[in-house]
């Protein structure tokens, strides 16, 4: 989802033409058919979920019958409360209750390339981390009838704010997908951190949101999921050469997760290394698993162990390079994460032999269960033979949310046609929405507290949308 991810997507077009798994399709744990091949009736659009998508006369968003959307903000066109244009590249977002309305905190994956991302997050006194950086978050206020009432900067001066996650105490953790150092591209400080944003107001973030939570490590962060029982934080890394890792942060003894507690810990003596940051390694029947792409059947379950990170601030080398072969389990393109059903869902967007993976796929959804210390493959997308056509094929799942109506919602960030992908509780995929404007990715799907509105971003040219309709348990 960063410039690095875009480069990877370009490389994938070459892989699609020569992969040996082009006909494998999609498989789901617990479904009647262990393998659903692209183009068959079992994967036909509209067969399940909320029914077939209806083309949009405005050419933006195809939705099922009875559903509609509202565009809340457009990058470069809609104005913030201070008169500046809404920043470029909206990415993942967090949704919080605000009376009968909602507050939406949106990341902006803005780096140093003003030609691709012309509208930076404007610096604001008290909420700016690094004046040389152009990314950050904005917060949208939404009325009970679904209208935008305002939008302001809640964090500025960060780089490539990609994904993140909500906390049990009602804040947003926004992640930098970079490991840039001070002096790079005009930066004053090191980057590659997680920051906590308060949805309450702009004033609530003054002096608080620009505090880096260094104990969560400095690496190319993607997303986080927080255990409400233990306050443990699970983190994904979108990186390669070598491929990225799945992390766990274990709080120090006596830590209680609450509003402001992470910032207080970060600013305390020894806060940079508070708690334990660990990387996952997996085993199957006692045999070490080098790469998550090794799993080719839904229902595959690995025993999980955790290995302490030697230098979480990556002073001399990136964290993923601090481990040798056989010490940790890697994965290409670890993306979205979401806490639900007593564990952490997390996504591997795709894998190819050419990037060091041991098998190829176009998406995995994993579930880490802290009670059993296992990681289970829940959803597997086989390599999509032709992403340019919309025939029930999907590739490149990215952000994820657990639907309050049952099942999952995934944002597709692949090649060709771009969808919001629903997955029913029984494991069947369906098209929930289709981008009819261009092939830009969907980002950050998340439901309002009452479950009546699904908020989502389209990264380019930059739009935040609210989708409403007859939300029920999806058919199938």
pLDDT at 318: 97
Mean pLDDT of 167-180: 98
pLDDT at 47: 60
Mean pLDDT of 330-334: 96
Q: Looking at the predicted structure, is the pLDDT value of residue 308 above 60?
A: yes
| Average pLDDT value over all residues in the chain | 90
Give the position of tokens 């939570």: 213
pLDDT at 393: 85
Q: Looking at the predicted structure, is the pLDDT value of residue 34 above 50?
A: no
- 347 within 8 A of 366, measured Cβ to Cβ: yes
Task: Report the distance separating Cα 430 and Cα 410, nearest Å.
Answer: 10
User: β-strand 161-166 against 374-381: which pairing, if any?
Assistant: unpaired
Q: Which residues of 417-439 are buried (b: 16+ CB within 10 A; e: fewer)?
A: bbbbbbbbeebbbbbbbbbbbee
Q: Looking at the predicted structure, is the pLDDT value of residue 25 above 80?
A: no
pLDDT at 476: 78
Give tens-digit pLDDT for 262-292.
999 999 999 999 999 999 999 999 999 999 9
Of 39-48, 275-284, 432-441, 442-451, the one with minimum mean pLDDT is 39-48
pLDDT at 311: 98
pLDDT at 1: 54
For the chain, the 3-state helix, strand and coil shares in percent, each to the nearest 5, are: 10, 40, 50
246 or 33: which carries more pLDDT confidence? 246
Count other Cβ atoms within 10 Å, centred on residue 122. Answer: 17
Task: Report the distance separating Cα 218 and Cα 248, nearest Å.
Answer: 13
C-alpha dihedral sign at 318, 323, 326, 329: negative
- 138 within 8 A of 121, measured Cβ to Cβ: yes
pLDDT at 48: 86
Provide the pLDDT confidence category of residue 78 given band limits of 50, 70 and 90. very high
Helices (H) and strands (E) in the chain, counts: 2, 28
Mean pLDDT of 354-358: 91
Q: What are phi and psi of 384, to 5 degrees?
A: -75, 120
Task: Report the distance separating Cα 188 and Cα 182, nearest Å.
Answer: 5
Q: Looking at the predicted structure, is the pLDDT value of residue 14 above 60?
A: no
Mean pLDDT of 194-200: 98
Task: Report the distance separating Cα 191 and Cα 313, nearest Å.
Answer: 10
Give tens-digit pLDDT for 381-420.
999 999 988 878 899 999 999 999 999 999 999 899 999 9
Task: Report the distance separating Cα 460 and Cα 134, nearest Å.
Answer: 17
Residue 450: both structure tokens together: 């009452």
The 3-class SS string of 79-96 reads ECCCCCECCCCEEEEEEE
Provide the pLDDT confidence category of residue 46 given band limits of 50, 70 and 90. very low
Give tens-digit pLDDT for 218-228.
999 999 999 99
Mean pLDDT of 75-99: 98
Q: Please work out, in degrees rounded to the nearest 5, the angle formed at the alpha carbon of residue 165 by the alpha carbons of 164 and 167.
A: 140
Task: Report the distance separating Cα 216 and Cα 233, nearest Å.
Answer: 8
Q: Looking at the predicted structure, is the pLDDT value of residue 38 above 70?
A: no
Q: Looking at the predicted structure, is the pLDDT value of residue 95 above 90?
A: yes
Residue 116: both structure tokens together: 């691709």
Q: What are phi and psi of 152, to 5 degrees?
A: -140, 165
Percent of the chain clearing pLDDT 70 (strictly above): 90
pLDDT at 58: 97
């Amino acid at each position: 989802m960063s410039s690095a991810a875009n480069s990877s997507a370009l490389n994938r077009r070459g892989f699609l033409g020569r992969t040996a798994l082009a006909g494998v399709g999609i498989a789901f744990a617990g479904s009647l058919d262990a393998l659903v091949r692209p183009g068959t009736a079992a994967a036909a659009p509209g067969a399940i979920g909320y029914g077939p998508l209806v083309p949009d006369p405005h050419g933006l968003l195809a939705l099922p019958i009875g559903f509609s959307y509202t565009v809340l903000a457009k990058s470069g066109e809609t104005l913030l409360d201070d008169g500046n244009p809404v920043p470029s590249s909206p990415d993942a977002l967090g949704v919080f209750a605000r009376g009968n309305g909602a507050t939406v905190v949106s990341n902006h994956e803005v780096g140093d390339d003003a030609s691709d991302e012309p509208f930076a997050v404007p610096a604001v006194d008290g909420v700016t981390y690094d004046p040389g950086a152009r990314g950050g978050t904005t917060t949208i206020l939404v009325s009970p009838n679904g209208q935008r009432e305002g939008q302001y900067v809640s964090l500025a001066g960060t780089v490539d704010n990609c994904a993140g996650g909500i906390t049990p105490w009602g804040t947003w953790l926004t992640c930098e997908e970079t490991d840039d150092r001070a002096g790079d591209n005009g930066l004053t400080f090191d980057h590659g951190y997680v920051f906590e944003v308060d949805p309450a107001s702009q004033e609530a973030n003054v002096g608080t949101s620009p505090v880096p939570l260094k104990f969560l490590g400095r690496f190319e962060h993607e997303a986080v999921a927080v255990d409400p029982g233990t306050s443990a934080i699970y983190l994904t890394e979108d990186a390669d050469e070598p491929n990225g890792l799945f992390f766990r942060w274990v709080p120090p003894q006596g830590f209680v997760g609450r509003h402001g507690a992470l910032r207080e810990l970060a600013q305390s003596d020894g806060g940079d290394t508070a708690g334990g940051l660990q990387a996952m390694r997996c085993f199957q029947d006692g045999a070490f698993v080098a790469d998550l792409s090794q799993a080719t059947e839904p229902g595959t379950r690995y025993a999980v162990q955790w290995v302490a990170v030697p230098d979480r601030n990556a002073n001399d080398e990136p964290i993923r390079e601090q481990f040798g072969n056989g010490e940790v389990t890697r994965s290409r393109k670890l993306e979205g994460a979401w806490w639900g059903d007593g564990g952490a869902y997390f996504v591997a967007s795709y894998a190819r032999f050419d990037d060091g993976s041991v098998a190829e796929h176009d998406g995995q959804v994993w579930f880490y269960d802290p009670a059993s210390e296992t990681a289970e493959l829940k959803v597997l997308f086989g390599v999509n033979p032709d992403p340019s056509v919309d025939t029930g094929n999907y590739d490149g799942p990215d952000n994820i949310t657990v639907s309050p109506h049952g099942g999952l919602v995934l944002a597709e960030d692949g090649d060709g046609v771009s969808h919001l992908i629903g997955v029913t509780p029984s494991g069947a995929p369906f098209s929930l929405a289709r981008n009819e404007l261009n092939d830009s990715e969907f980002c950050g799907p998340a439901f309002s507290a009452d479950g009546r509105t699904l908020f989502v971003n389209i990264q380019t040219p930059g739009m935040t949308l609210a989708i409403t309709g007859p939300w029920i348990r999806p058919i199938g």
